[in-house]
Chains A and B, each alone.
Chain A
Amino acid sequence: MNSKRNDRIATGVIYLLVGIVILLLVGIIGNILISGVPHLSWHFLTSASSSFEAGGGIRDQLFNSLYLLILTLLISLPIALGAAIYLAEYAKDNWVTQLIRTTIEILSSLPSIVVGLFGYLLFVVQFGLGFSIIAGALALTFFNLPILTSNIEEAIKGVPQTQREAGWALGLSNWKTIRGIVLPAALPGIITGIILSAGRVFGEAAALIYTAGQSGSTVDYSNWNMFSPTSFLNVMRPAETLAVHIWKVNTEGIIPDVTVVSAATSALLVIVVIIFNFGARALGNWLYNRLTAAKIK
Chain B
Amino acid sequence: MSKKEQDLQEVVEQAIAQQKVPHVKIKGIDPHSIDIARLTKPSKETRQERWGKGLTALAILLIGILIVSIIGFVGSHGLATFFTDKVNIFHFLFSTDWNPSAGPNHVGAAAMIVTSFAVTLLAALIATPFAIAVALFMTEYESGKKANLLQSVMELLVGIPSVVYGFLGLTVVVPAVRTVFGGTGFGILTATLILFVMVLPTITSLTVDAFKAVPKELRKSSAALGATQWQTIYHVVLRAARARIMTAIIFGMARAFGEALAVQMAIGNAVLMPYNLVSPAATLTSQLTSQMGNTVMGTLPNNALWSLALLLLIMSLVFNFLVHLIGKKS
Report which A residues bind B (CB closer than 8 A).
Answer: 3-4, 6-7, 9-11, 13-15, 17-18, 20-22, 24-25, 28-29, 31-32, 78-83, 85-87, 89-91, 100, 102-107, 109-115, 117-118, 121-122, 142, 145-146, 149, 154, 171-176, 178-179, 195-196, 199-200, 202-206, 210, 242-243, 246-247, 250, 262, 266, 269-270, 273-274, 276-278, 281
Docked pose: A122 CA to B48 CA in angstroms: 36
**Contacts of A29 on B, CB cut-off 8 Å?**
153, 156-157
Contacting pair A111 B58 (CB below 8 A): no
Contacting pair B316 A273 (CB below 8 A): no
Partner of A31, one of B130, B168, B258, B289: B168
Interface SS of chain B: helix
Chain B stretch 44-85: residues in CB contact (< 8 A) with chain A: 45-46, 48-49, 51-53, 55-60, 62-64, 66-67, 69-71, 73-74
Contacting pair A81 B59 (CB below 8 A): yes
**Contacts of B197 on A, CB cut-off 8 Å?**
24, 28
Contacting pair B228 A118 (CB below 8 A): no
Contacting pair A10 B255 (CB below 8 A): no
Contacting pair A206 B67 (CB below 8 A): no
- Nearest to A18 among chain B residues (CB) is B137
User: Can you give 15 A-B contacts (C-beta < 8 A)?
Assistant: A3-B228, A6-B231, A17-B133, A20-B130, A86-B60, A100-B60, A109-B255, A109-B319, A111-B288, A111-B316, A175-B53, A203-B159, A246-B163, A266-B160, A269-B159
How many A-B pairs have beta carbons closer than 8 Å: the answer is 242
Report which B residues bind A (CB closer than 8 A).
Answer: 45-46, 48-49, 51-53, 55-60, 62-64, 66-67, 69-71, 73-74, 129-130, 133-134, 136-137, 141, 150, 152-164, 167-168, 172, 197, 200, 209, 227-231, 233-234, 251, 254-255, 257-261, 285, 288-289, 292, 309, 312-313, 316-317, 319-320, 323-324
- Nearest to A109 among chain B residues (CB) is B254
**Contacts of B153 on A, CB cut-off 8 Å?**
25, 29
Partner of A86, one of B59, B137, B160: B59
Partner of B261, one of A13, A115, A206: A206
**Contacts of B254 on A, CB cut-off 8 Å?**
109
- Nearest to A99 among chain B residues (CB) is B64
**Contacts of A7 on B, CB cut-off 8 Å?**
228-231
Contacting pair B130 A17 (CB below 8 A): yes
Contacting pair A111 B161 (CB below 8 A): no
